[in-house]
Structure 1
Amino acid sequence: MQVAPSILSADFGKLEAEVQAICAADCDLVHIDVMDGHFVPNLTLGPVVVKSVAKAATKPLDIHLMVQNNSFFVDLFAPFKPEFISFHIEEEKHANRLTQKIRNFGIRPAVVLNPHTGIECIDYLLEYIDMVLVMSVNPGFGGQKFIPNVLEKIKLLKDRIEIRNPKCLIEVDGGVSDVNIKDLREAGVDIVVAGSYVFSGDYRQRIASLK
């Protein structure tokens, strides 16, 4: 299991040190939640802060866009060369075009599904993307409780991926901890995003408990 700590739960008063600490604690990716205050009721990180995170990180960035006007935000964050840029399918009318735009930057494109969004809406996109990020909470704020019926959704998604694009990864974000990591692994998850769980304890121990 790969682990991508979400810096949304970090201490922003010492953000550089926090990013360095999770990288030293053997995380696999640094997850960055970009919220615009419109698609979700919260406002988070802009390109100035993410530039500093990119300089501090020794692991690849995993940028999760929770925004309107995805194409504009891809242009803002692509220069930092993240491993992934993921966008919400609920907010994108031209998903194939945006996927190709992300890939043209040399970045791996990913699509995000909110807890209520059915997997059938990305059936004809799966072959063009490298990852599906399944939200197991409603996006916008850290520290929320895991929604259990997302596990069944992940299993169904895994079956579809095996048929259409076996190389496509599954990432899960929201309420991840050592309590549900076994169920997530068994459901077919490849990467977990964990914010409050990682940052509320010993970083190395918490990350290791999820791997």
Structure 2
Amino acid sequence: MSGIRINPSVLSADFVNMQADLDRIAAADFVHVDVMDNHFVPNLTFGPQMVQRIQETSPVPLDVHLMIDDPERWAPGYAELGAASVTFHLEASSEPVALARRLRAIGARAGVAVKPGTPAESLYDVLDEFDQILVMTVEPGFGGQSFMPETMPKLAALAAEARRHGSAVWLQVDGGISASTIAQAAEAGADTFVAGSAVFGADDPDLAIAALRAGAASAHAHAH
């Protein structure tokens, strides 16, 4: 198992004081940026201009999560802005492997996300086409939702398949990740954790990040 990554979600940041909030998470590995289009999910966040400003001011690399229709059209632009990682939804993509290859060619890590109800088997044969698989642990669209433990068997199955393939793909979870749920996700095989309010809502985000990291590391030690 490679390292543990903690990626705070800007959905929980103060949009008016974004730079100050970004400076509070310098201990994180990436900052998770949720782009929603009010079509693929019933919520609207921001687009390329805002992401570009976050890119210019963030102390850590960007992990962009596109909850949008037609990622073939829009995803490459986020890679071109300099995002370190760009994740699109399997459910929205017409050519996921071709899109992942295009993102990698631009220089970003290519990620693919699956909603709670989407089976993971469709990804088994193409694991190595992606640098990251995001297993949504809530229905995408809104921050602050409760973690869905019923998504853990899918995560564990993906982790087992990745091991079988000798794949280096990162397994990310997003939704309801906190000090009380991170161990469950880590035991099931996640190594990359999106946390929103658990980090930005803390008095000391650095301490919160360290606590999440320690919780995941401890769970990994027990699981292996």
Gaps of 5+ in 1: none
The Cα shift of 1:154 comes to 1.1
Q: Which residue of 2 aligns with 1:93?
A: 94
Q: Is the contact made by 1:16 and 1:52 (CA closer than 8 Å) also made in structure 2?
A: no
Residue aligned with 1:59, SS: coil
Q: Which residue of 2 aligns with 1:204?
A: 206
The aligned amino acid for 2:136 is M
The alignment status of 1:170 with 2:164, answered yes or no, reads no
CA RMSD in angstroms, aligned pairs only: 1.1
Q: Which residue of 2 aligns with 1:129?
A: 130
Q: Which moved more, 1:127-136 or 1:164-173?
A: 164-173
Q: Which residue of 2 aligns with 1:181?
A: 182
Residue aligned with 1:87, SS: strand
The alignment status of 1:119 with 2:87, answered yes or no, reads no
Q: Is the contact made by 2:75 and 2:88 (CA closer than 8 Å) also made in structure 1?
A: no
Residue aligned with 2:149, SS: coil
Residue aligned with 1:17, SS: helix
The aligned amino acid for 1:12 is F
The Cα shift of 1:75 comes to 3.1
The aligned amino acid for 1:34 is V
Q: Which residue of 2 aligns with 1:84?
A: 85
Q: Which residue of 2 aligns with 1:19?
A: 22
Residue aligned with 1:207, SS: helix
Encode CA deviations 1:139-194: one digit per residue, 9 max, x unaligned. Answer: 00000000011122111110111123420110000000000111222211111000
Residue aligned with 1:132, SS: strand
Q: Which residue of 2 aligns with 1:68?
A: 69
Encode CA deviations 1:58-82: one digit per residue, 9 max, x unaligned. Answer: 2110000100110222233122222
Q: Which residue of 1 aligns with 2:219?
A: none
Residue aligned with 1:206, SS: helix
Residues 1:169 and 1:75: Cα distance change in structure 2 (over 3 Å): closer
Inter-partner Cα distance in structure 2 for 1:129 and 1:36: 23
Residue aligned with 1:49, SS: helix
Q: Percent identity?
A: 38
Residue aligned with 1:53, SS: helix
Inter-partner Cα distance in structure 2 for 1:162 and 1:100: 22
TM-score normalised to the size of structure 2?
0.90
Q: Which residue of 2 aligns with 1:190?
A: 191
The aligned amino acid for 2:108 is I
Q: Which moved more, 1:124-133 or 1:33-42?
A: 124-133
TM-score normalised to the size of structure 1?
0.96
Inter-partner Cα distance in structure 2 for 1:127 and 1:165: 9
Q: Which residue of 1 aligns with 2:218?
A: none
Gaps of 5+ in 2: 214-224
Encode CA deviations 1:98-133: one digit per residue, 9 max, x unaligned. Answer: 111111101111110101110111122212111100
In the TM superposition, 1:30-49 aligns within 5 A as 30-49=31-50
Q: Is the contact made by 2:8 and 2:30 (CA closer than 8 Å) also made in structure 1?
A: yes
